[in-house]
Structure 1
Amino acid sequence: METKKEGRTRLPSLLSGPAGRNVGLVLALALICVVGVITGGERFASIDNLMVVLRLASVIGVLAIGMTFVITSGGIDLSVGSVMGLTTVWATTWATQAMADDLHWVVMVFTAMAVGTVAGLVNGAIIAYGRVVPFITTLAMLASARGLAEMISNRQTQRVQSDAFIEFFRLEPLGVPILVWIFAAVSVAGWFLLNRTTFGRRTVAIGGNAEASRLAGIKVQRHTLYIYGLAGLTAGIAGAMMLGRTTAGTSTHGMLWELEAIAAVVVGGTLLIGGRGTIVGTVVGVLIFTVLTNVFTINNMSTSAQLVAKGAIIVAAVLLQQRFANRSKST
C-alpha cells in the first residue's frame, strides 16, 4: 500500500517537474505535426520538407540557446537579432573577405563570432557596471547595431565571395545539412554548460535571487558580463550560419528575430522572471514555432494568421508559467 501511495504522489511531482514540462512540449509538437500531415499530406511529411524545417530552425535555435542563459539569469536581450545582422555585414566587408582570401575562409566565421561577442560584452558591461536595466540597454544596442550595419554596408547587400565558405555550409553529412549539425552541437554545449557546470548553477542562482547570490560569494556583476557575452557569441555563430544559408550579408538579417528567440525560450519553459532554464525545452520550443510556420505556409495561410497563432501560444505559455510558479510557492 505504501509503495502505491508513493507512486501516486511521485507521478504529479514528476509531471510538474522538468520532465513533465518537456513531455508536454513534445506532445504539443507531435499534435502540430499530426495537423500538418492531415492538412498538408505528402508535402509536409516528406524528408525534404523535414530538412527544410530543421534548416530554418537551426539559425534561430542558436540565438535562442544564448537567450536561454540571459532569461534564466533574470535578464533580457532585445538586441540579438540586430547584432546577428551586424555580424553578417562585418564578416562580408571587403577587408574581411580579402583577409579570408589570404588566410582561410574561417576568418569570416571568427569575425562574426568576435563582433557578436564584443556587442554582447558591451551590453553586459553597461548592465552590470553601469547599472542600466537590461531592457533599455539592449534596446539601445538593437538600434545601434542595426544602424552601424546600415552604415558599414551603405544599405547594400554584400555577397560572400569565398566558394570554399559556401561549399562548407552546403555540406550534408549523413544526409543532414551542416547547419543542423551546428545547431545540435551548440544545443549540447549549452545543455552541458547550464546543467553540469558551476557557470550554469551560478546563472540559475542569480536569476533566482541576485542579492542572495552576491552574499553567497558569487561575483554577480562579472557573471552578468559573461552571460551577455555568451549571448553575443551565439548571435555571431548564428550570423555565420545565416551567411552560409543565404550567401549574403545585409543589415536586414535578423529583423525581429529577438522576439522569435524570446518566444521559443518562454514556450520552452524558461521562466521570464529568471531562476529556471531549460535548453531541451528551448530546442523543442524552436521546433514548435518552425513547424507551425511550415504548416501555415504549406496550407497558404496568411502571415497575419501565423502571428495571431504565435501570439496565442506565447500568452498560453506565460499563463501556464504563472500557474506553476504560484503552485510551487504555495507548496
Structure 2
Amino acid sequence: MSSPGTVSDVPAKTTAPPGGSPLRALLGRADLRNLALLGVLAVLVAVGGLTRPEEFLSTGNLQLVLTQASVIGVVTVGVTFVIISGGIDLSVGAIVALASVWATTVATQDFGLGGMLLCAVSVGLGCGLVNGVLIAYGGMVPFIATLAMLASARGLALQISDGRTQVVRVDTVLDLGLPQAYVLGIPPLVLVFAAVTAVGWLLLNRTTFGRRSVAVGGNAEAARLAGIDVRRQRLMLYLLSGLCCGIAAFMLVVLTGSGQNTNGNLYELDAIAAAIIGGTLLSGGRGTITGSVLGVLVFTTITNLFALNNLQSDVQQIAKGAIIVAAVLIQHRTARSQTS
C-alpha cells in the first residue's frame, strides 16, 4: 500500500506504513514532488506580494483565487482517478457546460436549489455512465469515446440554451455566492472543494476502490487475473468523473449566476495538466490527489498574477505549457531512475 496522499507503483516495502499520518507521508520520498509544488506556489505568492502587494495579498483576491480554483479543482479530482486507471476524459468541460445549462432552464429552476443541484448531478452521472459503458463494455478507446461525448454534450448544451445565457432567478442559489454566505471568511464553494478533495483522498488511499483503480492502471491484465472486475471498475471511475463534473457545474452556476453552453471551456486541458504536474502518470498506475490540487492552485495563481499585472494571455499560456513540459520530463526521469 502506498503512503497517504500518494499512490505509487513502487514495491510496497519502499513506501510508508499504512498507518502513517499525512504529515509523515508529506515528508516521504514519494511526496518530494508535492513539496516542489508547494515551493513553486510559495514563489508565485512571493512574486505577487512583490509586484502587486495591495491587490494580490488582499483578502478579497485570495478568496477569489480559491473560489476560481474550486470549480476546476473538483473536476480535477475526478479526472485524476480516471488517469490513474490508465484512462482519459476529454469530455469534462462539455459535461460541465451541459449540466449547467440543463440545471438553469426555466423548468428546472421551478424546483428551486434542490432541483437544480439534482439536475446538474444527474446530467453529470448520465454522461459519465455513457462514457463508462462505451469504454468498459463497448471496447472503445477512451480518447475516442470521450471526444465523441465532448462534441455531443457541447452540441446538446447549445441546442438547449439556443446559444443564450440562462440567468438564474432562484435567490437561494444566488445567495450562496454572496459574502454573507461565507463561513469564517471562507466562500461556500471553497468548502465544497475541500470536502470533495478530502473524500477523494480517502477514496484513493484508504479504500479497496482506490487500490483497484491503481491496479487497473498499472496492469489491467494482472488486475483481472487477481480477481478485479476491470470493466466494472472502469465504469465506476467514469461515473465518478461525471459526478464531479455535475458538482462543478452547480458550483459554476452559483459563481456566475447563469448557465451557458460555453461554460467549462478547456476545463479538460486544465484538469489533465494539473493532474500531470501533480505527479499523476498519463500511462496510469500512479497519482496523488494532493498533487493534483496543488497543480490546480499553481495554475490558478498564475492566471491571477497575469491578470493583476496586465500581462497578455498568450504569455500566460506559454508559461503553463512550459510547466507541463517540465513536469512530464521530470516524470520520465523519475520513471527511468526507478527502473534502472
- In structure 2, how many angstroms separate the alpha carbons of the residues matched to 1:169 and 1:213? 44
**Aligned: 1:97 with 2:109:** yes
Structure 2, unpaired ranges of 5+: 1-13, 16-24
- In structure 2, how many angstroms separate the alpha carbons of the residues matched to 1:42 and 1:93? 40
Q: Deviations over 1:110-166 (max 9, x none)?
A: 110010011011001100111111011101100000000001111111111111111
Q: Match of 1:234?
A: 244
Q: Match of 1:134?
A: 142
**Aligned: 1:43 with 2:55:** yes
User: Does the CA contact (< 8 Å) of 2:132 and 2:234 recur in 1?
Assistant: yes
Q: Match of 2:43?
A: 31
Task: Quote the offset at 1:35 in angstroms.
Answer: 1.3
User: Does the CA contact (< 8 Å) of 1:169 and 1:241 recur in 2?
Assistant: no
TM-score by length of 1: 0.93
Distance 1:14 1:229, change over 3 A: closer
User: Structure 2: which amino acid aligns with 1:275?
Assistant: G
**Aligned: 1:159 with 2:171:** no
Distance 1:16 1:195, change over 3 A: closer
Q: Which of 188, 200, 210 is the matching residue for 1:190?
A: 200
- In structure 2, how many angstroms separate the alpha carbons of the residues matched to 1:267 and 1:22? 9
Q: Match of 1:224?
A: 234
Q: Match of 1:5?
A: none
**Aligned: 1:247 with 2:227:** no
Q: Deviations over 1:83-130 (max 9, x none)?
A: 0000001101122112x1xxx421100110010011011001100111
Q: Match of 1:3?
A: none
Q: Which of 67, 78, 84 is the matching residue for 1:55?
A: 67
Task: Quote the offset at 1:283 in angstroms.
Answer: 0.8
- In structure 2, how many angstroms separate the alpha carbons of the residues matched to 1:253 and 1:189? 25
Task: Quote the offset at 1:16 in angstroms.
Answer: 7.7
In the comparison of the two structures, how many residue pairs are matched?
A: 316
Task: Quote the offset at 1:326 in angstroms.
Answer: 1.0
- In structure 1, how many angstroms separate the alpha carbons of the residues matched to 2:217 and 2:136? 14
Q: Match of 1:144?
A: 152
User: Structure 2: which amino acid aligns with 1:148?
Assistant: L
Task: Quote the offset at 1:38 in angstroms.
Answer: 1.4
**Aligned: 1:293 with 2:303:** yes
Q: Match of 1:107?
A: 115
Task: Quote the offset at 1:21 in angstroms.
Answer: 1.5
Q: Which of 75, 78, 99 is the matching residue for 1:87?
A: 99
User: Does the CA contact (< 8 Å) of 1:269 and 1:277 recur in 2?
Assistant: yes
**Aligned: 1:306 with 2:316:** yes
User: Does the CA contact (< 8 Å) of 1:63 and 1:80 recur in 2?
Assistant: yes
- Give SS of 1:204's match: helix
Q: Which of 282, 296, 300 is the matching residue for 2:292?
A: 282
User: Does the CA contact (< 8 Å) of 1:15 and 1:21 recur in 2?
Assistant: no
Q: Match of 1:267?
A: 277
Which deviates more from structure 2 when the two are superposed, residues 42-51 or residues 259-268? 42-51
Task: Quote the offset at 1:312 in angstroms.
Answer: 0.3
Matched-pair identity in %? 56
Q: Match of 2:90?
A: 78
- In structure 2, how many angstroms separate the alpha carbons of the residues matched to 1:19 and 1:306? 27
TM-score by length of 2: 0.90
User: Structure 1: which amino acid aligns with 2:102?
Assistant: W
Q: Match of 2:6?
A: none
Task: Quote the offset at 1:15 in angstroms.
Answer: 7.3
User: Does the CA contact (< 8 Å) of 2:26 and 2:35 recur in 1?
Assistant: no
- In structure 1, how many angstroms separate the alpha carbons of the residues matched to 2:27 and 2:206? 23
Q: Which of 31, 43, 46 is the matching residue for 1:19?
A: 31
User: Does the CA contact (< 8 Å) of 2:85 and 2:285 recur in 1?
Assistant: yes
User: Does the CA contact (< 8 Å) of 1:74 and 1:273 recur in 2?
Assistant: yes
Task: Quote the offset at 1:169 in angstroms.
Answer: 3.7
Greater fraction helix: 1
Distance 1:14 1:240, change over 3 A: closer
Task: Quote the offset at 1:269 in angstroms.
Answer: 0.8
Distance 1:197 1:308, change over 3 A: same
- In structure 1, how many angstroms separate the alpha carbons of the residues matched to 2:65 and 2:217? 32
